[in-house]
Structure 1
């Protein structure tokens, strides 16, 4: 079974306080869904057509669990707290089957 991933690149952060409040809520949601942060901000070098943006990658045991976590009531509540505090390119993707 392929793992699932949340991948988000932050195009702009408009309100750092809202982002921090969102971040405090997301950790428990991710843990409860069996996920773990692989990348959460940090140093970025962008190549080719890439942009130097804050990037977050979260790994889940399966694509289905990643999607369910994103669609969960708890995560949607966290997103409501973030609101327009950041502009992101976010997606749920399936990993490669080994």
Structure 2
């Protein structure tokens, strides 16, 4: 069953750290089987929606998404990010 990595950026504190993270995280996550489906600011928000950066990545399974997060390559990306952002990250199984 597919799984989705959903990340929303509540606050961007340091654009330089975010850029360093993105350069490492993209290859780490695609190399682990992830496919970026959407990323950026919303075009429109409804209900209690927030105008904040969001990222949606599809993985073949929850296990693959968790393994991608826990991989050495992604952990290096997180180290580069440090305290550069405040975000919410969740892995949700597909329906």
Residue in 1 that maps onto 2:34: 35
Q: Is residue 44–residue 53 contact of structure 1 (8 Å, CA) maintained in 2?
A: no
Residue in 2 that maps onto 1:9: 8
Gaps of 5+ in 1: none
Q: Is residue 4–residue 66 contact of structure 1 (8 Å, CA) maintained in 2?
A: yes
CA distance in 1, matches of 2:59, 2:94: 10
Report the Cα offset of residue 42 of structure 1: 3.9
1:21-32 equivalences in 2 (<5 Å): 21-32=20-31
Q: Is residue 3–residue 94 contact of structure 2 (8 Å, CA) maintained in 1?
A: yes
TM-score (norm 2): 0.92
TM-score (norm 1): 0.90
Kindly report the root-mean-square deviation, in angstroms, between the aligned alpha carbons of the 2 structures.
Answer: 1.1
- Aligned residue pairs total 95
Residues 1:50 and 2:59 aligned together: no
Gaps of 5+ in 2: none
